[in-house]
Amino acid sequence: MLLPSITRQSATLANRTLGSVSLRGSPRFLSVSRIVQGDDHHDARPPIMQGPGAKPGTVPTDLEQSTGIERYEILSRMEGHDPFDRKPLAVNHMGTLDNPVKVFSLERTRIVGCTGFPVDSHDTLYMKVSSSRPRRCSECGCGESSSRAIFQLRIKLAN
């Protein structure tokens, strides 16, 4: 077999070339935390969202076989909620510093796509909007005037 002999030759050549140099990388300093159970033995991990599964000999439905985030989405839609707030943003005015377009988010940052005002007046331009300061669209408005669309992030807490 050719492969082991090539590997041995490469290792021998490396030993001759490098001498006593260690081939190991630098030590890695990691801090790894683990889930710890208390005296009352309550599990600190989040619950597993898992369906009941299908009866033997049947094909499972989405509700029966879904798990995790997919199951959360299905159950939320059954209750009439949009779990990920994927509806288009209603923009009925040009955002300004005094009256920015409000974008709701569960996180401190969110990617927003601007299509201009009125809607579809330019190609979609995506930008990262943070809660620390408003973000201005570089396509909307004339030149460098202050009439460009301004988006501001509002943190919405989960129920």
Question: Cα angle vertex 106, ends 101, 133, to 5°?
Answer: 45
Q: Is 140 annotated as a binding residue?
A: yes
Q: Is 122 annotated as a binding residue?
A: yes
Beta-ladder partners of 103:
153
CA-CA distances (angstroms) from residue 51 to 47, 56, 67, 84? 12, 15, 6, 20
**CA terminus-to-terminus distance, the chain:** 64
- Per DSSP, the three-state class of 127 is strand
Nearest CA to 48 out of 70, 67, 76 is that of 67
What DSSP character marks residue 50?
B
Q: Is 137 annotated as a binding residue?
A: yes
Feature table: binding site for Zn(2+): 114, 122, 137, 140
Feature table: binding site: 114, 122, 137, 140
